[in-house]
Amino acid sequence: MGLMQKAVETYGCHQSYIGQYEAGHTVLAPVSHIVTRANVEIVLNADGGFLEASAVPKDDPKIIIPATESSAGRTANVCAHPLCDQLGYLAPYNEEKHADYVAQLEAWEQSPYSHPKLPPILAYIRKGTILNDLAASELLRLDAQGKLEDEKKEGKWLVRWRVTGLADGAPDACWQDPTLFDSFIRFYQATKKGDPADLCMVTGKIARRASQHPKGVIPTSGNAKLISSNDETGFTFRGRFTSGEQAATVSYEASQKAHNALRWLAAEQGAQAVFGGRTFLCWNPQGHEVRHVVGPFARQAKPVHRATDYQELLQKTLEGCKSKLPETAGVVIAVFDAATSGRLSLTYYQEMKGSDFLQRLYEWDKTCCWPTRYYGIQAPWLIQIVHCAFGTQQTEKGKKRMKADDRVLRQHMQRLVACRVEKSAFPADIMRALFHRASFPLAYDPAVREDILSTACAVIRKYRYDRYKEEWNMMLDPKKKDLSYQFGRLLAVLEKAERDTYEDKETREPNAIRQQAMFNRRPMYTAKMIESQLESAYFPRLSPGGRFFYKKLIGEIMEQIAQFPEEQWNRPLRETYLMGYYLQRNALYTSRHNQEMEEQNHDETAE
């Protein structure tokens, strides 16, 4: 019950937000209320006379409406909301639905907990003119029999009420009137006084248990319920129980608070992120700001190109986050997915001390990072890792990018979240998938292959750190005692030497790129073949200084390779060759000025 307890705690810490509408945010609903979207607004006077009706704009925020246990979780059964409901309940053409709505509204209006807005609304409903009034307002059309022309659509329009001319000083809008909220809460509590009480497994108190639980907790999962026990065929209980209460009992109040808090959190962009239909929530119950688990830890205002500057940025971010999050504060991470249209599953749950959470985000970004061509050193987003490892190249808005299937995305996003939060070793299969793809560059567009390569290097760096405690420098290390790394450097030099002979608009791929997959399997054999092609076809096109520069660099790299046993030279390369390739290639492009100076000096000496 950890999730429910934290949700109730969250609700209790945000009492001041209950019923308070704020632009760009979803309102937190009171107990015995739900948040939903209205389609039509009807304005009445104090006597229940119709004044006007209008369509509610689609971008209008959701509103609070009263709801019973049964109506909050209704599906196909007839069960009216107490005040605001669909036209199918308000109009008299469906006798069963209409009678249920009127009976419930009458009971509330005639109780000791009535409210000044109820008599006008009830009086108007009893007139039965709602469809004609809406038709006269040109909001819908009626057929010759006075029925809705499009009942399937318009019958589901939800109506909200506005009552003017009352002298109670409350807002005219029913969905903004806190006295109306309180009126229904007290009325509904009175109707449930005789219900059985039991031990609430969330609060640990004896209280009236919930007979049903709200639906639609996660907006992306539709009407799926988090708690449900309506299967009486033995499948759900598996022979262990004869009723849902034997498995778990949750009080009505705790259920309402927990579900309303989760619904509120799931609608807030700062707390939720959705990938492949799976919702990832990350929050502090007291409302303190925390970094979301799926995003980067540090927010860069401008590119950072030096490792020391990147480390300093991460350290400052960690200190800043800790200053906003009290030492004793906690962080909750929960992941939800709808297994079916009616069932919502909690696929991952973790709660931890806030300082530990921030430290783990910091350590992930510290070890899983790499220089990129345009954005400097940064840690790839978790979604970028999944897309590059398991996606297919697609074109969106004229731009090519990698995109993974939703089923694959949600599964591996959760794995990476768990890895990041629990400080476990990076999954080897994801690293190998990136390594394999980065070794077949011709399969992708040049811009896409760069994303795959930099992401692969960041992941390999983290993988080597997690598995072997190796710390790989993000600057070129010509003396690195790693055979694969040195072969990667050699591949970069062979590629750059050929590219230097191309005309400005020539886009043909060098032999090194076209044969990279074979180079990965038989490095020395392939390197000699590519170098032979360079000697015969490309070195003659270079200036004497250019030939000297590349031959000298190839010789230096071969000296490093020669320090390893010859029988290892044609073994398949490890993933570390990609880091050597990337850093050597980056050094060749960024140090072009120094290279030109060396070529010029050599040419002058040769003369």
* 488 C-beta neighbours (distance < 10 Å), count: 28
Adjacent-strand bridge partners of 549: none
pLDDT of amino acid 473: 93
Query: Which pLDDT tens digit goes with each residue over 39-62?
Result: 999 999 999 999 999 999 998 999
**Predicted pLDDT of residue 101:** 96
Among 132, 158, 128, 127, smallest CA distance to 145 is for: 132
- What was the pLDDT predicted at 561? 97
- DSSP output for 480-524: ---HHHHHHHHHHHHHHHHHTTS-TT--PPPHHHHTHHHHHHSHH
| Rounded-to-integer distance, Cα 392 and Cα 382, Å | 17
pLDDT value at 599 more than 80: no
Mean pLDDT of the chain: 91
Q: In angstroms, rounded to a whole number, what is the distance separating the alpha carbons of residues 524 and 490?
A: 10
- Tell how far CA 304 is from the center of its chain: 26
Residue 236: pLDDT band with limits 50, 70, 90: low
Give residue 143's pLDDT: 86
pLDDT per residue as tens digits for the range 112-128: 999 999 999 999 999 99
Q: Region of 236 please: left (phi>0), alpha (psi -120 to 50) or beta.
A: alpha
Alpha-carbon gap, residue 180 to 113, rounded angstroms: 10
- Mean pLDDT confidence for 210-220: 84
User: Is 377 buried (19+), middle (13-18) or exposed (0-12) by CB count in 10 A?
Assistant: buried
Indicate if the pLDDT at residue 1 is higher than 60. Answer: no
What integer is the mean pLDDT of 557-568? Answer: 96
Distance of CA 460 to the CA centre of its chain: 24
How long, in residues, is the chain?
Answer: 607
Contact 159, 85 (CB under 8 A): yes
Annotate 220-282 with DSSP letters as a single string: GGTT-BSS-----SSTTTTTS-SSHHHH---BHHHHHHHHHHHHHHHH-TTTEEEETTEEEEE
pLDDT (mean) for 343-354 = 93
- Distance (Å, whole) CA 68 – CA 79: 9
CA distances from 25 to 17, 175, 267, 332 (A): 11, 15, 8, 21
Question: Does the pLDDT at position 231 exceed 70?
Answer: no
- Which of 48-57, 397-406, 407-416, 589-598 is least confident? 589-598
Place 360 in a pLDDT band, splitting at 50, 70 and 90: very high
Helices (H), 68-172: 69-72, 87-90, 95-109, 118-127, 130-136, 151-154
- pLDDT category, 335, cuts 50, 70, 90? very high
Q: Is the pLDDT of residue 37 over 90?
A: yes
pLDDT recorded at residue 146: 81
Task: Give me the pLDDT at residue 235, please.
Answer: 60
pLDDT computed for residue 596 by the predictor: 52
Report, as an integer, the average pLDDT of 229-238. Answer: 62
Separation CA 543–CA 430 (nearest Å): 44
Of the pLDDT bands very low, low, confident and very high (cuts 50, 70, 90), residue 448 is very high
Q: What is the pLDDT of residue 233?
A: 60
Banded pLDDT at 471 (limits 50, 70, 90): very high
Q: What pLDDT, on the 0 to 100 scale, is given for residue 314? A: 96
Model pLDDT for residues 306-329, shown as the tens digit of each residue: 999 999 999 999 999 999 998 889
pLDDT, tens digit, 9 for 90 and up, residues 567-579: 999 999 999 999 9
Encoding tokens for residue 588? 């060749």
Asked whether the beta carbons of 376 and 305 are under 8 A apart, the reply is yes
Cα distances from 476 to residues 105, 367, 473, 484, 586, in angstroms, run 75, 17, 7, 14, 9
Read off the pLDDT of residues 371-388 as tens digits, 9 standing for 90 and up: 998 889 999 999 999 999
Question: 24 falls in which pLDDT band (50, 70, 90)?
Answer: confident
Q: 3-class SS at 117?
A: coil
- Residue 5 has, within 13 A of its CA and on its CB side, a CA count of 11
Inform me whether the pLDDT recorded for 595 exceeds 80: no
Mean pLDDT of 91-97: 92
Please say if the pLDDT value at position 597 is more than 50. Answer: no
* Whether pLDDT at 428 is above 50: yes
pTM over 0.85: yes
How far apart are the C-alpha atoms of 78 and 71, rounded to whole Å?
9
- Cβ burial of 446 (10 Å; 0-12, 13-18, 19+) is exposed
Complete DSSP assignment for 317-370: HHHHHHHHS-TT-EEEEEEEEESSSSBEEEEEEEEEEHHHHHHHHHHHHHHS-E
Rounded to whole angstroms, how far apart are CA atoms 432 and 480? 22
pLDDT per position as a tens digit, 500-533: 999 888 889 999 999 999 999 999 999 999 999 9
User: Does pLDDT of 604 surpass 50?
Assistant: no
Give the pLDDT of residue 21: 92
Residue 219 DSSP label = G
Two tokens, residue 322: 């800790």
Determine the Cα–Cα distance for residues 228 and 340; give it in Å rounded to an integer: 12
